[in-house]
C-alpha cells in the first residue's frame, strides 16, 4: 500500500510550469523599465483590471479570464520578490477566486539578455490552481497559458515597434 502524498508532493503534482522566450526590438534597459512599471506591465497581460500599487513592491488587481466554457475572476496580490536591473524581475502572485471556490498561486521569473540590437525576454512561470479551475486539467490550462504568453509577447513587441511598423 502506497503512503498518502504529502501536501508538498500534491502541490508539485498540481504545479504547472510554462516557459519561453522572444525578442523585442529595443535596448534591454528600456524593456526592463517598461516591465518594472506595473501599470505598463498590466497592459500586456490579458485580463488584468483595477491595478493598485500598495507599496513599491506590492500590488493588488483583479484578474479575469475565460478557460474552456468557464469564466474566472480572481482578486490577486503581486509581490515583486527580486529586481536586478536590467536583468531579472521575479514576482509571486497569490489570488482567491471571486464567486467560485478556488485559489491561484504563481511564481514568475523574467530574465532579459542582450541579443544584438534587441533584447531577449526569457520567462518561466510556475502556477498552482485549486478548486474548480484546478479540476479543468493540464491540457486545457496549458493551451490557455500559451494563448496568454502569445498575447503578452505580441503586446510587448508592439509597444516597441517603430511607427512605420505600427501602421501596418
Q: Which pLDDT does position 62 carry in this prediction?
A: 96
Q: Is residue 121 part of a domain?
A: yes
pLDDT digits (tens, 9 = 90+) for 85-120: 999 999 999 999 888 778 889 999 999 999 999 999
Higher-confidence position of 37 and 72 = 37
- Mean pLDDT across the stretch 77-89? 97
Q: Is residue 3 part of a domain?
A: no
Tell me how many domains the chain contains: 1
pLDDT of 46 above 50 = yes
Q: Which three cell numbers stand for residue 34?
A: 517598461
Q: Is residue 166 part of a domain?
A: no
- Alpha-helical regions (H) of 47-137: 131-134
Q: Is residue 168 part of a domain?
A: no
Q: Is residue 48 part of a domain?
A: yes
pLDDT band for position 32 (50/70/90)? very high
Lowest mean pLDDT among 10-14, 58-62, 97-101: 10-14
| 47/25 Cα distance (integer angstroms) | 25
Greatest pairwise CA separation for the chain in angstroms: 66
Q: Is residue 20 part of a domain?
A: yes
pTM: 0.83
Q: Which pLDDT does position 117 carry in this prediction?
A: 94
CA atoms within 13 A on the CB side of 32: 16
Q: Is residue 1 part of a domain?
A: no
- Per-residue burial over 49-88, b if 16 or more Cβ lie within 10 Å, else e, is eebeeeeeeebebbbebebeeeebbbebebebeebeebee
Read off the CATH number of the domain in which 145 is found. 3.30.530.20
Q: Is residue 167 part of a domain?
A: no
Range of the domain at 119: 9-161
Amino acid at each position: 500500500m502506497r503512503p498518502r502524498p504529502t501536501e508538498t508532493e500534491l502541490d508539485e503534482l498540481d504545479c504547472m510550469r510554462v516557459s519561453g522566450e522572444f525578442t523585442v526590438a529595443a535596448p534591454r534597459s528600456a524593456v526592463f523599465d517598461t516591465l518594472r512599471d506595473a501599470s505598463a506591465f498590466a497592459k500586456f497581460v490579458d485580463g488584468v483590471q483595477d491595478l493598485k500599487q500598495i507599496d513599491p513592491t506590492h500590488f493588488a488587481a483583479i484578474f479575469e479570464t475565460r478557460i474552456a466554457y468557464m469564466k474566472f475572476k480572481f482578486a490577486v496580490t503581486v509581490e515583486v520578490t527580486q529586481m536586478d536591473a536590467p536583468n531579472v524581475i521575479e514576482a509571486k502572485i497569490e489570488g482567491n477566486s471571486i464567486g467560485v471556490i478556488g485559489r491561484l498561486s504563481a511564481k514568475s521569473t523574467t530574465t532579459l539578455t542582450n541579443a544584438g540590437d534587441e533584447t531577449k525576454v526569457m520567462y518561466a512561470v510556475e502556477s498552482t490552481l485549486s478548486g474548480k479551475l484546478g479540476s479543468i486539467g493540464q491540457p486545457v490550462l496549458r493551451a490557455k497559458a500559451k494563448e496568454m504568453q502569445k498575447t503578452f509577447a505580441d503586446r510587448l513587441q508592439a509597444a516597441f515597434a517603430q511607427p512605420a511598423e505600427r501602421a501596418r
